[in-house]
Each structure stands twice: as C-alpha cells, then as structure tokens.
Structure 1
Amino acid sequence: MSDLFYDAAPNATRIAPPRPQPRKYPDKKPTHVYLFGTCVIDIMFPDAGFDAIRLLEREGITVHYPQEQGCCGQPAYSSGYIEQAKEVAKAQIALFENDWPVVIPSGSCAGMMRLHYKELFHDEPEVLAKVNALSERIYELGEFLLYVSKIQLKDQGQKTKIALHTSCAARREMNTHLHVRQLLDQLENVERIDHDHESECCGFGGTFSVKMADISGAMVLDKTKALKDTGVDQVVSADCGCLMNINGSLEKQNESLRGQHLATFLWLRTGGTHHE
C-alpha cells in the first residue's frame, strides 16, 4: 500500500523508486548500531523493540537508540502530503550522524527510509547527499541478523507450527519474506506452514485502513481465515502494523490464535526471557 497515493492532498506527485538491487554486506560485524524503533513498536509493541535490542546485544553489538526519533514519515508520504513528510523525514535523518548501521524491526519503515527518502528529496541536492549516505546504512532487522551479524540460532523451544505473514511493502521493497524464512529455518523445532495468502496484503496499509475501512476489513478477514485454516499454533511477522491489524481482527473474532513479532519470537525461542 505504501506505493499508492490517494487523493488526500492537492497536486500530490511522486516518482516511483527503483526496486532494491542486490547489496554488498559488510565483511565484519559492526560493534555499534542505531535502532530505529518505529512509532507502532514504541506505542503498541514495546517488547518487539526491546527484544530486537536484546538480540543485537547478544551478538556483541552496542545498540544506540536516539530518544528524539519518531515516525519515518510514511503515512504522510503515502497520503500525498509531501512537505509534511519531508519535515518528519528531516528530523529522523539528523539523528543518525555516526557512520553506524541503522537497524529497523519493520520492513515497510526500512523501505521508506532506504528507498523513498531518495524520491522525497530528489529536488534538494544538499539533503539528498545525506539521504544517499544514510540509505546504504539502512537494514531491516532480519536482513541485518542474517547477512551482517551472520547470526546462528539454537532453538530451545518445544515443537511448534507457525505461519508467516509478510508485509506486502516489506516483501516488495526489502525482501523481508526471504530473510525471515531463512532465520526461522534455523530453528529445528519450528515447522513453518505455508498458506496461499502469505503474499497478500492484510488490509492495514497505514492510512488505507482508515480511508477505506470496509475494503480493509474484508481483506483482513481473508487473511485471518487463511491463517486459521493452517491449524498453526502461532503467527509470526516482521511488521507491527500488520500484526496490529491481524491481531485486532482475531480478537474481534474471539479466536485464540495471535501473531508475534519476529524479534520476540526469535528471542524467546533461543533462551531469552522477559522480566516484569
């Protein structure tokens, strides 16, 4: 949905970004990273943010979390409010001055910062130079764990069956579905059950779910039915916007099945605990 502009703002225009190209990953694991926590994780799924930090710290990496961070600007951008999106984006760009990777536990937010910032500032050369440098340091969490940290997971949980939901924006822009599958496949007691709606949008789409609530509601019902039909114990996703939508629908249906963020799932499966 983040590739669409609706008629929310007058004279909204955009240039479609190129598909992400294969990238060269660092040969050496960094000792410091930034975490961009995303506004949805901050407000709705704080455990996912803390568990992302725990996973990174267990890899021997010092995690820095700029307290001033907020939204990546995607809702305004996707609704055609370009100037407002620029204001939000500039505030985020200013926070990551050191030459450290920026790890984001959301493929859609990572896609916004890695790809769409370039289009957002295509007519501002001074800002664009900073954006181009930043984009090369943007990593979705699963991508970073797999290809930069080269994490090796040891499953310490009981046998379980899970279904994967991958954000359509994250699939399209960051290949998150491929990263998540490879990480889950390291867990010997986890059986991943494929379902025929994995690549379909859950209906969230940020502002789409507000502007087109009836269509969004029908889409999430299709998604949750496909997930329930698998008979799995749990749903795993790397995007909390989708989880918020899917879990909300499942709760409304009085279903016990729930989705969990990848960071929390990996942390708990590999011996991590949560302390009150």
Structure 2
Amino acid sequence: MSMQKTSRPNVGLFVTCLVDLYRPTVGFAAVKLLEQAGCTVDVPLTQTCCGQPAYNSGDRRSTREIARQVIEAFEGFDYVVAPSGSCGGMISHHYAELFADEPDWQLRAKSLSAKTHELVSFLTDICGVTEVQAKLDASVTYHDSCSGLRELKIKQQPRRLLGTVDGLSLTELPTAETCCGFGGTFCIKYSDVSLEMVRRKADDIAATEADLLLAGDMGCLLNMAGKLKRDSSTVKARHVAEVLAGMTDTPAIGEAE
C-alpha cells in the first residue's frame, strides 16, 4: 500500500512511553519527518502505553483495558505511526487477539492494526520517501531491534534513508540482528542473562569504532547506551529519527542535558 501523492493523510503519532519520558526529541523528530513527507500530524493527549509490558507479563485484562484506550484515541486517523518497532508491532500484531470474545472490539482493533506502522517503514513504504535533507559528519553503526526486524520486517528501510544523509558513513554491525538483552520486562526477570547479552553487544559495537550507535527503539538504545557509558566507550547512541531529521544538536542518549 502506498500513499497517493495528491493526498495529505492525517497521521496520529503514537509517541511511546520511553520517548515521552526519556527522549522527547525523538517525538519532535518524528513530527518533522512526517510533515516533510506531506502528512498532517496530531498527537492525541489521551494516548497512553501500548500495553506491551502487561501483555508480556501475562496480564491480559490490563492489556485489554489499555488497548481500548489506544483504539479510542487513534481510530479516527488515516494512519497511526510510532517511532518504535516494539510498540508498532504490539498494536499491529497483537491487539486483535486480545478481543477474541468481543467481536465489536476485535473489529475495531483489526481496523487500527491495519493502519499502524513504525516510523521509518511508514516513510519509505507508505509515503515513498527516498531521501532526507540532513547532514551529519559521523560514522555510525546500526542495531536492528527484535520487534522491528522480526515482526515488522524492517531492515533496509533505515539504511536506505541513512545512505542519503550528507557526510554520514555506515559501518555494519556484524551482530546487528542479535538481541541486545533488553526485551522489556525480560531484563528485569532475567537480569543476569540480559547483562551478559548487552555486554557482548557493547563489545561488538565498540569494535566498529563508530562515532554513533543508531536504532529505532528507545528500549534497546537505553540498554546499550547505558552499557557503553559504563564501559567508558566513546560510542554514543541516538534514535535514527534524530539523525534523519537533522536534529543532533542535543546530547546523546544517556548524556547530561
């Protein structure tokens, strides 16, 4: 499905909890990119968490309550876009199954799921964006988040757009598709396993000698940025949207504001 060039779709931006609480710049970058792509963007004030933490913990009742709020807040938009493969995947792949015994709500959930997309894939696959007007003299490496890669099939989309950033060079991370160990509540329930996973990941990132680590999910970025900082690594971390929007004048993730 591709967006008609003559249309100006109304996009509801699903900000995500981590962007809202830890990295609002990513939200502003997403708005900039969407508007440059010809969209009208709104950010519903009634939005809340996508429900994934409750869902992954087996609390289906709370997840359904959260999902209803999200559906009501966003079902009036042409598209729903999230700067997160994790949240985008939750809404687009798991909402409908929550309402197997509630046909009316399941129909509404399916309708929302069908028009929900991750930011970069929406820009490339739906809006037809092939380049960005951004400049950054830096070497970067890229981590593919599990949800974005495996649920939403996001792999080449960010790389294609990064290839049009003036001055930027991309060094592929050999373990780009390997989980960083965050996994939402996984890193809390299985902290020892999670720490070993991010230790290996941080070593691989540092070995690239890149200036920046980029990814499309704040959970992964906070996890990896924290380990890199504890290791006193020179590699800094940013959300890919910040680079594509040319909004890199703020401190990197985990650095003092």
Query: Matched residue of 1:75: which SS?
Result: helix
Q: CA deviation at 1:158?
A: 4.6
Asked if residue 207 in structure 1 is aligned to residue 185 in structure 2, the reply is yes
TM-score of the superposed pair, with normalisation by structure 2: 0.91
1:44-193 equivalent positions in 2, closer than 5 A: 44-154=22-132, 156-193=134-171
Partners in 1 of 2:200 and 2:162 — Cα distance? 24
Asked if residue 26 in structure 1 is aligned to residue 7 in structure 2, the reply is no
Partners in 2 of 1:92 and 1:155 — Cα distance? 33
Partners in 2 of 1:81 and 1:33 — Cα distance? 30
Partners in 2 of 1:123 and 1:227 — Cα distance? 46
Task: Report the CA distance shift for 1:218/1:138 in structure 2 as closer, same or farther (over 3 A).
Answer: same
Q: Which AA in structure 2 matches 1:228?
A: A
Task: Report the CA distance shift for 1:106/1:77 in structure 2 as closer, same or farther (over 3 A).
Answer: same
Structure 2 portions without partners, runs of 5+: 251-256
Partners in 2 of 1:206 and 1:96 — Cα distance? 24
Task: Report the CA distance shift for 1:151/1:87 in structure 2 as closer, same or farther (over 3 A).
Answer: same
Partners in 2 of 1:139 and 1:158 — Cα distance? 26
Asked if residue 250 in structure 1 is aligned to residue 228 in structure 2, the reply is yes
**Paired positions, count:** 250
TM-score of the superposed pair, with normalisation by structure 1: 0.85
> Does the CA contact (< 8 Å) of 2:83 and 2:217 recur in 1?
yes
Residue 11 of structure 1 corresponds to none
1:231-242 equivalent positions in 2, closer than 5 A: 231-242=209-220
Of the structure 1 ranges 156-165 and 254-263, higher mean CA displacement relative to structure 2 is found in 156-165
Residue 254 of structure 2 corresponds to none
Q: CA deviation at 1:155?
A: 5.1
Partners in 2 of 1:225 and 1:219 — Cα distance? 10
Residue 253 of structure 2 corresponds to none
Residue 8 of structure 1 corresponds to none
Residue 6 of structure 1 corresponds to none
Query: Matched residue of 1:250: which SS?
Result: helix
1:4-15 equivalent positions in 2, closer than 5 A: none
Identity of aligned residues (%): 36
Structure 1 portions without partners, runs of 5+: 1-23
Query: Matched residue of 1:189: which SS?
Result: strand
Task: Report the CA distance shift for 1:158/1:110 in structure 2 as closer, same or farther (over 3 A).
Answer: closer
> Does the CA contact (< 8 Å) of 1:113 and 1:138 recur in 2?
yes
Q: CA deviation at 1:250?
A: 1.1
Q: CA deviation at 1:123?
A: 2.5
Q: CA deviation at 1:256?
A: 2.5
Q: Which AA in structure 2 matches 1:75?
A: P
Of the structure 1 ranges 152-161 and 202-211, higher mean CA displacement relative to structure 2 is found in 152-161
Q: CA deviation at 1:154?
A: 4.5
RMSD: 1.9
Task: Report the CA distance shift for 1:242/1:132 in structure 2 as closer, same or farther (over 3 A).
Answer: same
Partners in 1 of 2:32 and 2:170 — Cα distance? 24
